[in-house]
Chain A
């Protein structure tokens, strides 16, 4: 019933939203945070399980978690991440955003980065790939649930980097 009302509301709102697209010069075509499959960088064997008309749900909408929580993720990184002296000038927040599918597999990784003051920043690519490689070895993801069935979702990990070391992992 709730869905039906939402649909009716949207049909009524459609002309209004179109008008808004005109005012806003039609800037946005996708949801914020959406990841589209890119054949040049994404693993072709990684598949999402379902089709989503609007967008994959976010982890907090469906309860996607890692077994043992951030404590377990931090332990994983503390065992595998080896700091390099050449990275000692690196400071900022590096986010790795990805998809956890309904089987707990991950793919479609993307980077988002800022300085510690949230300004534009680009980490050195080798450093990013080092963190990505470890992120890919996290293999205890528990997919979120939608209508009590495992579903695909977006998830991210944000690394707070101080002088090339992982100072914290969020969220």
Chain B
């Protein structure tokens, strides 16, 4: 509460200066714009008139400050208005590529399955600062590039990026800190290439670090089934079902994932395995 009152006071002081114009420097306007952005983030509903007014004001006060442009894009993209979303996001990227290019790649990948567009942005983002480990919206870009390639059905390149990410992450913080779905997706890339023994190693790794992973059980079961080990396949497929029903699968409230697993995939596979058993 004190923070809000203080902000109100600071804003009143600063806005009087804005009105007076002559005495106000650009840097003061930009500091104020930053405060308005923080206020928008903390106190308003995304996309509401209040939120838009604060962001529009921040942009008017400091047109070179890229963050409110990016923030304006979010509500549009979340509501499916990608024309307006990218209008604002592209401006933010133009102004400050290092801050926003990775996010744009992430949006293209996760929200639009624009694998080529995402790959282009993520690679450019990587080149902007080649010596640093790059994360786009909290996810390592090699992990995301692996997903781009998997989406393009370029399974060799997908495996290349997942391996690269796994190696870097393991060297950096240890294998237990690796995003477990890197193992799952690397396994899926191998599975698609019918390299079942390699793929199986990845699914085992996933289960080693996330013992309830429904996807790892599911694909492991399919591999066992395709390699003639129906009884084990059946056990693994039921484990996939049990863990799926308990909620241990990859999901997101905004969108579905690449290779999203459904309960119907598992039940259909159980039926398939059972039919083979009876023959």
Shortest beta-carbon distance, B26 to chain A, in Å? 16
Interface of chain B, helix or strand or loop or mixed?
Answer: helix
Within the complex, which residue of B48, B60, B260 is in contact with A70, where a contact is CB–CB below 8 Å? B260
Contact bitstring A5-21, B, C-beta under 8 A = 1, else 0: 10011101101110111
Which residues, 79 to 100 on A, are CB-close (under 8 Å) to B?
Answer: 93, 95, 97
Is residue A118 within 8 Å, beta carbon to beta carbon, of the partner chain?
A: yes
Chain B residues positioned under 8 Å from A30 (CB to CB)? 49
Chain A residues positioned under 8 Å from B48 (CB to CB)? 31, 54-55
Interface of chain A, helix or strand or loop or mixed?
Answer: mixed
B83 in contact with A120 (CB, 8 Å): yes
Q: Contacts A8-B1, A20-B57: A119 and B83 contacting too (C-beta < 8 A)?
A: yes
Q: Contacts A16-B8, A31-B48: A69 and B56 contacting too (C-beta < 8 A)?
A: no
A158 in contact with B82 (CB, 8 Å): yes
A71 in contact with B262 (CB, 8 Å): yes
Chain B residues positioned under 8 Å from A146 (CB to CB)? none
Chain B residues positioned under 8 Å from A17 (CB to CB)? 50, 53-54
Contact bitstring B45-67, A, C-beta under 8 A = 1, else 0: 10111101110110011000000
Shortest beta-carbon distance, A152 to chain B, in Å? 15
Chain B residues positioned under 8 Å from A27 (CB to CB)? 52-53, 56
Please report the C-alpha to C-alpha distance between residue A31 and residue B52 in the assembled complex, in whole angstroms.
9
Please report the C-alpha to C-alpha distance between residue A120 and residue B86 in the assembled complex, in whole angstroms.
10
Q: Contacts A9-B43, A20-B57: A28 and B4 contacting too (C-beta < 8 A)?
A: no
A23 in contact with B61 (CB, 8 Å): yes
A170 in contact with B57 (CB, 8 Å): no
Please report the C-alpha to C-alpha distance between residue A154 and residue B4 in the assembled complex, in whole angstroms.
31
Contact bitstring B193-234, A, C-beta under 8 A = 1, else 0: 000000000000000000000000000000000000000000
Q: Across the two chains, which residue of chain B brings its CB closest to A65?
A: B253
Chain A residues positioned under 8 Å from B79 (CB to CB)? 32-33, 58, 97, 154, 156
Contact bitstring B1-40, A, C-beta under 8 A = 1, else 0: 1001101100100010010000000000000000010010
Which residues from chain B sit less than 8 Å from chain A, CB to CB? Answer: 1, 4-5, 7-8, 11, 15, 18, 36, 39, 43, 45, 47-50, 52-54, 56-57, 60-61, 75-76, 78-83, 85-87, 90, 111-114, 117, 253-256, 260, 262, 264-265
Which residues from chain A sit less than 8 Å from chain B, CB to CB? Answer: 5, 8-10, 12-13, 15-17, 19-21, 23-33, 54-55, 58, 60, 63, 68-71, 93, 95, 97, 112-114, 116-121, 154, 156, 158, 160, 168, 170-171
23 A-B pairs with CB atoms under 8 Å apart are: A12-B8, A13-B4, A16-B7, A16-B11, A17-B50, A19-B15, A23-B56, A24-B52, A24-B60, A28-B56, A32-B47, A33-B47, A54-B48, A58-B78, A69-B262, A70-B256, A71-B262, A71-B264, A93-B82, A95-B80, A112-B80, A112-B81, A112-B83
Q: List 16 other contacts, CB 8 Å, given A17-B53, A71-B264.
A: A12-B8, A13-B43, A19-B11, A20-B57, A23-B53, A23-B57, A24-B52, A32-B75, A33-B76, A33-B81, A93-B82, A120-B83, A160-B112, A170-B111, A170-B112, A170-B113
